[in-house]
Amino acid sequence: MSKVKTAYFCSNCGYESTKWVGKCPSCNSWNTFVEEVITKGVEKNDNSWKDYNADKRTSKTILLNEVSATEEDRILTTDGELNRVLGGGIVAGSIVLVAGEPGIGKSTLFLQVGLHLDGVSTLYISGEESEQQIKMRADRLKASNQDFYLLTETATDVLFKEIKKLRPQLVIVDSIQTLHSNFIESSPGSVSQIRECAAEFQRFAKETNTPVFLIGHITKDGTIAGPKILEHMVDTVLQFEGDRHYAYRILRTIKNRFGSTAELGIYEMTGEGMRSVTNPSEILITQKEEQLSGSAIAATLEGMRPLLIEVQALVTQSVYGTPQRTVSGFDLRRLQLLLAVLEKRGGFHFGVKDVFVNIAGGLKVEDPSIDLSVICALLSSFEDIPLPQKICFAGEVGLNGEIRAVNRIEQRIAEAEKLGFEKIIVSKYNKKGFDKQKTGIQIVPVGQVQEVYQLLF
């Protein structure tokens, strides 16, 4: 019999301490330490997966040159956006953590993925909803998979007994915060319970080569609930984000051991579930009748996908002593840098103006290639002159006012041409990246912010 062992955990970040402390040394939060029993007085008999499948794994030392370099086996879903975000499909034996706001559509998306996987035996474990609630949602999604099984249970020992009986090819857990292990004497959702349950599923996934999706909650700060080690344990971390006021949602990769971390999937929330958006540029550009100042179109990239997004700027006379700088979807420090460049290199007095910048559609953009479109939107609002409708921009702005080259310019030009734009303004240092004869869109190379101003205004 193992003796009872307790420890103190920070409920905010998961930091472990042998004694209670007032201030967390890791996240500096006050009064967040709670005592949890981490070893119960029972003998721990680990779940053994030796007889689960025919492929026996041997634990022995091996030369790296003797390892056969084969492609990972992947399950291709009918959802092209999820395939892209995961790096080309679901890898066998991978464990994926999906987190997002309550009500954003995590359960709907993965229930839909499981129901569309014909020929793949899928087990959907729900600790939050009853069978009737899931059935109602499945009826609304209008999809059926003959090998789709449900289990509403939260005790891990019962779950693994059912998994051994069923032997599914894919497991979806909704959610990891509702599960509890008998080896830990604390309530579901506590740091030690989340860590132990995730470790049990990780062991199952790796030893049986079965992919597992863990749906997780987030805290009020927007970070994934539970200890940070949870993100280190899994192979892939996906963030499902979006605004309740918009119809579409964004699936973003934060960590991926089997693909790029810069990928993005866009979905539209409909009455029949999540619909993949194959051409997001069309929904990210506002359809408007009349020309208005302060609006510019940027040709940006998210992972491998080119996007055209609308940058909106509003420049007004400052009423208060200190001018306001407000941004949505853009970095505030980057905006201050661009305003300083316009003030110093262009002679525009933004120091007495309130400046507001918004990326239309609720996207958060980190690509520096939208600098040029932000500057053009600011100048358009400053002069109160609308920009031509069929023009877009792709360029990074340096501190000397120079327009710097951006990567993969050909893809950006092709996307702008596909959407009917007639002119794209790029850096003159990007000349090697494209052939003017091959494109049907007019490419205008520029070198300095002053040149852009003279060209447009």
The annotation places the binding site for ATP at: 100-107
| 370, 313 Cβ separation under 8 angstroms | no
Instruction: Categorise residue 197: left if φ over 0, alpha if ψ from -120 to 50, beta otherwise.
Output: alpha
What CA–CA distance (Å, rounded) separates 280 from 35?
48
Binding residue numbers:
100-107
Question: Is the C-alpha dihedral spanning 338, 343, 348, 351 positive or negative?
Answer: positive
Which residues face 218 on adjacent strands? 224
What CA–CA distance (Å, rounded) separates 427 from 448?
9
| 108, 137 Cβ separation under 8 angstroms | yes
What CA–CA distance (Å, rounded) separates 239 from 104?
11
Nearest to 34, CA basis, from 15, 8, 5: 8
| 240, 104 Cβ separation under 8 angstroms | yes
What CA–CA distance (Å, rounded) separates 110 from 105?
9
Task: Give the amino acid at 416.
Answer: A
Q: Distance of alpha carbon 84 from its chain centroid, rounded?
A: 12
H or E stretch covering 234? none
Beta-carbon-side half-sphere exposure of residue 156 (alpha carbons within 13 Å): 26
